[in-house]
């Protein structure tokens, strides 16, 4: 049947139904005249024309974010319409537009999500305002493409972050660069959710099943810091430096991890820019200063489980420190002796005389260079060990003065703690008095080995029964090494901290795709 004939039947039926009961018929005088124009060609949706226009839009789109690649790929492969049907567009389009309207409250430019064009094309559909240059099929194609682009950009960004921290931060510091390969130091080693095929399919399904609004609500960052930063953002002028700092920290809040401090009653969290550590056990909080890696030897961002404390540890020097600081002293026996350094053959256990140490030994896998444990050891009197890919850990230090400095990015990558004994007691599940006394004694005694050169009859004062070597931590204590340049202080007030490794600059450059 022709559309006009069906419309006639509907009107005729309405007239018949309203003739009884003395009720005044509201349809008296109703004619087909206002509907005659709907049959004109300019109001007809043509699938082939729309598909051709979609291909043109995809070929012309040169944006380079993950969402943009996915949109282009979808339409270049003749993906089915997501937002259009035979009646045009429905309220899903208005829902997406309403979310895009609010991206300015996140610090972004609406037009990076095609907002102005979306609103204009939606208006044309609502008002049937089509004409030369803005035909119904060209407008429909623009709506289809731009709705998908805006939806993908927004959903992927809010769920996973608008940048990929593992990709961006792990391509900053060169380790090796020759004609065959370029290697970078890993600086971000936190398990973080990333966009994948499953989420891509989920986005498509949510559109097809008319579940856009619940989905967009579900993917919003839920952490309390994100909400606080968003409120702060809208209290600052659009282009202030402080505003950019807020944007960078909001972005960090979008990086969803599989483990958070809030999931635990007892944990340790280190925020590198604030040079600060908190050891939390329920309502009890131990605060202390820390020292961390320098800009050349950055402390990596990671999570772990502290599993063991080694008291008066032996320090085996890594090759990076040997090559940078030690090799130049080969031939100077006093250098090695004054620092309690020794070289040992790994296979035989033979200790090499300081005068016989060579550069080849120091760089060979068959030998190790170590520093004796005890007073003066660079690791201090205790080290807190956890599994990681970098041979970094928390430890005491023999250089206590570092904690009086304002800038404490001074180490080769490990984290130096201001209150090692207090932190050790914190780690214990059962704070047995005898055990804590042994800890205090072991960390304070001058010698950790019996004196074999005492005169006859003189008693050694070293209490070997009080010495601890290693203490297991059960249950293991979660550790979070983070990087926020705006973060709550001990009182809960948001404070700003220096961008010690320049990560804010890196993040802000990437976020400019949305300004």
Indicate the length of the chain as a whole number. Answer: 515
Q: Which of 248, 253, 292, 414 is catalytic?
A: 414
CA-based torsion, 169, 173, 179, 180: positive or negative: negative
| Catalytic residue check, 414 | yes
End-to-end CA distance of the chain: 52
> What's the burial of 95, exposed, middle or buried (CB within 10 Å: 0-12/13-18/19+)?
middle
CA angle 138, 140, 145 (to 5 degrees): 95
Q: Which of 248, 292, 395, 412 is catalytic?
A: 395
Q: How far is CA 130 from CA 38, 123, 252, 294, 321, in A?
A: 12, 10, 44, 62, 71
In degrees and rounded to multiples of 5, residue 477 shows phi and psi of: -100, 125
Alpha carbon 86 to its chain's center: 42
What 3-state DSSP class applies to 207?
helix
What 3-state DSSP class applies to 51?
helix
Task: Find out whether 170 and 233 touch, Cβ atoms under 8 Å.
Answer: no
Q: How far is CA 213 from CA 41, 99, 233, 269, in A?
A: 34, 9, 25, 35
CA distance 481 to 390: 13
Q: Hey, which bits of 401-491 come out as E strands?
A: 409-411, 415-417, 470-482, 486-488
Which among 47, 39, 40 is positioned nearest to 137, based on CA atoms? 47
CA angle 332, 337, 341 (to 5 degrees): 100
What 3-state DSSP class applies to 411?
strand
What 3-state DSSP class applies to 362?
helix
| Catalytic residue check, 19 | no
- Say which residues have a Cβ less than 8 Å from residue 164's Cβ, sequence separation at least 6: 66, 194
CA angle 487, 493, 499 (to 5 degrees): 30
In degrees and rounded to multiples of 5, residue 53 shows phi and psi of: -70, -35
DSSP assignments along 105-123, one per residue = GGT--GGGGTHHHHHHHHH
Q: Identify any residues that bridge with 411 across adjacent strands, giving them in sequence order.
A: 293
CA distance 413 to 299: 4
Q: Which residues are catalytic?
A: 395, 414
């Amino acid at each position: 049947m022709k559309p006009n004939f069906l419309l006639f039947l509907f009107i005729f039926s309405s007239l018949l139904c309203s003739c009884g009961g003395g009720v005044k018929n509201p349809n008296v005088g109703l004619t087909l005249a206002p509907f005659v124009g709907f049959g004109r060609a300019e109001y007809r949706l043509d699938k082939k024309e729309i598909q051709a226009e979609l291909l043109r839009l995809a070929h012309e789109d040169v944006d380079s974010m993950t969402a943009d690649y996915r949109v282009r790929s979808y339409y270049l492969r003749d993906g089915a319409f997501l937002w259009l049907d035979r009646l045009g567009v429905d309220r899903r389009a208005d829902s997406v537009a309403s979310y895009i309207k609010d991206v300015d409250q996140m610090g972004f430019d609406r037009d990076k999500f095609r907002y102005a064009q979306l609103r204009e094309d939606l208006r044309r559909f609502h008002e049937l305002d089509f004409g030369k240059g803005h035909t119904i099929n060209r407008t429909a194609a623009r709506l289809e493409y731009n709705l998908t682009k805006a939806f993908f950009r927004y959903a992927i960004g809010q769920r996973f972050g608008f940048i990929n921290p593992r990709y961006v931060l792990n391509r900053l510091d060169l380790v090796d660069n020759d004609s065959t390969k370029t290697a970078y130091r890993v600086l971000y080693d936190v398990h973080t959710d990333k966009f994948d095929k499953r989420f891509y399919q989920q986005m498509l399904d949510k559109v097809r099943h008319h579940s856009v609004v619940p989905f967009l609500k579900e993917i919003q960052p839920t952490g309390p810091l994100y909400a606080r930063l968003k409120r702060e953002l809208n209290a600052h002028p659009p282009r202030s430096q402080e505003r950019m700092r807020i944007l960078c920290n909001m972005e960090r809040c979008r990086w969803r991890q599989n483990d958070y401090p809030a999931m635990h009653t007892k944990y340790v969290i280190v925020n590198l820019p604030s040079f600060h550590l908190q050891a939390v056990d329920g309502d009890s909080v131990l605060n202390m200063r820390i020292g961390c890696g320098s800009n050349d030897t950055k402390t990596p961002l990671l999570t772990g489980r502290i599993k063991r404390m080694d008291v008066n540890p032996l320090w085996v020097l890594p090759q990076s420190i040997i090559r940078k600081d030690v090799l130049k002293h080969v031939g100077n026996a006093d250098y090695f002796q004054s620092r309690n350094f020794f070289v040992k053959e790994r296979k035989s256990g033979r200790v090499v005389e300081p005068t016989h140490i060579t550069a080849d030994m120091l760089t060979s896998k068959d030998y190790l260079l170590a520093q004796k444990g005890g007073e003066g050891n660079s690791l201090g009197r205790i080290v807190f060990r956890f599994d990681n890919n970098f041979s970094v850990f928390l430890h005491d230090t023999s250089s206590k003065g570092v904690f009086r400095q304002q800038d404490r990015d001074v180490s080769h990558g490990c984290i130096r703690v201001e209150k090692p004994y207090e932190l050790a007691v914190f780690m214990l599940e059962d704070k047995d008095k005898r055990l804590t006394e042994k800890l205090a004694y072991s960390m304070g005694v001058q010698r950790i080995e019996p004196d074999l050169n005492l005169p006859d009859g003189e008693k050694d004062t070293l209490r070997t029964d009080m010495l601890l070597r290693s203490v297991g931590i059960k249950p293991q204590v979660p550790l979070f090494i983070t990087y926020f340049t705006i973060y709550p202080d001990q009182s809960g007030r948001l404070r700003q901290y220096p961008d010690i490794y320049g990560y804010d600059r890196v993040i802000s450059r990437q976020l400019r795709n949305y300004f």
